């Protein structure tokens, strides 16, 4: 068991092109959906505004099971003044349901990365949830679903015995990693680079590279098309 916690932020890009999918797709990312239990409909925007929440933005990483249930979540990089939004999002994640991901025609567990934006305009609350964490795409409101890693293809067990992380384990040091990952239209990982690690000198970069070395992905979608480079 790991004696330290490691948070990973992935800057995901897609390479290549994919054709439109048939009725039973080979790939489908986990989706927020628009049903009564969809995350966007479970968050009580009116109550948030009445409690004093104003403009806020935060990033979300969560595990979505093949049943569409959120198994765990991490809320991070929130803007100042987003405490109420963060609390409401936490409550909503425990009771919402996602549309499950599909890999090679079968439902699967994935890691969903997204962003939640709350804005009050003319006295009315507005909520937007993105399926990516790209600053440019969020600012432009683009229809982009970032690649989603298959939960069981990351080797966290092996990384727990990685000698590079012994210092972090001894000192009970937590860490933060930022990655740049390129994924092709078939979900294959083509490139992985460690952009930054905090704090340095504890082997977090090496551990993360080894953990993701054989990872498989649901490819990204832009404007409904799979694997379009951006």
The structural domains of the chain, with segments of one domain joined by +, span 1-21+136-230, 30-130
> Of 215, 227, 25, which is closest to residue 111 (Cα–Cα)?
215
Residue of higher predicted confidence among 126 and 211: 126
Lowest mean pLDDT segment, chosen from 29-43, 115-129, 177-191: 177-191
Q: Provide the pLDDT for residue 201.
A: 81
> Which structure tokens are listed for 27?
């790939």
Q: Provide the pLDDT for residue 87.
A: 97
> Which structure tokens are listed for 116?
């939640």
Residue of higher predicted confidence among 196 and 116: 116
Instruction: Compute the distance between CA of residue 163 and CA of residue 140 in angstroms, rounded to an integer.
Output: 43
Residue of higher predicted confidence among 123 and 3: 123
Q: Provide the pLDDT for residue 161.
A: 54
Q: Can you tell me the mean pLDDT for 96-108? A: 96
What are the CA-CA distances from residue 194 to residues 48, 187, 212 (Å)?
37, 20, 11
pTM of model > 0.85: no
Q: Provide the pLDDT for residue 175.
A: 77
Instruction: Label residue 19 by pLDDT band (50, 70, 90).
Output: very low
Instruction: Compute the distance between CA of residue 115 and CA of residue 8 in angstroms, rounded to an integer.
Output: 15
Q: Can you tell me the mean pLDDT for 209-226? A: 89
Mean per-residue pLDDT of the chain = 85
Q: Provide the pLDDT for residue 229.
A: 41
Asked whether residue 16 carries a pLDDT value surpassing 80, the answer given is no
Give the architecture-level CATH label for domain 30-130: 2-Layer Sandwich (3.30)
Cα 7 off chain centre by: 11
Q: Provide the pLDDT for residue 45.
A: 96
């Amino acid at each position: 068991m790991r004696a330290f916690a490691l948070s990973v932020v992935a800057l995901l890009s897609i390479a290549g092109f994919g054709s439109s999918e048939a009725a039973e797709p080979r790939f489908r990312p986990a989706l927020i959906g628009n049903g009564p239990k969809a995350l966007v409909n479970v968050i009580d925007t009116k109550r948030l505004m009445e409690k004093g929440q104003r403009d806020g933005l935060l990033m979300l990483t969560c595990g979505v099971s093949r049943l569409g249930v959120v198994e765990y979540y991490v809320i991070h990089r929130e803007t100042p003044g987003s405490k109420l939004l963060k609390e409401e999002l936490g409550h909503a994640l425990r009771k919402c349901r996602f549309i499950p991901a599909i890999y090679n025609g079968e439902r699967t567990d994935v890691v969903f990365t997204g962003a939640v934006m709350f804005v009050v305009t003319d006295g009315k609350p507005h909520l937007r949830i993105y399926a990516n964490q790209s600053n440019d795409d969020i600012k432009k409101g683009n229809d982009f679903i970032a690649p989603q890693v298959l939960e069981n293809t990351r080797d966290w067990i092996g990384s727990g015995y990685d000698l590079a992380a012994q210092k972090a384990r001894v000192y009970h040091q937590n860490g933060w990693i930022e990655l740049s990952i390129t994924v092709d239209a078939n979900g294959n990982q083509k490139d992985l680079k460690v952009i930054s690690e905090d704090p340095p000198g504890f082997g977090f970069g090496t551990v993360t590279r080894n953990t993701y070395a054989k990872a498989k992905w649901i490819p990204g979608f832009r404007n409904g098309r799979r694997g379009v480079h951006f």
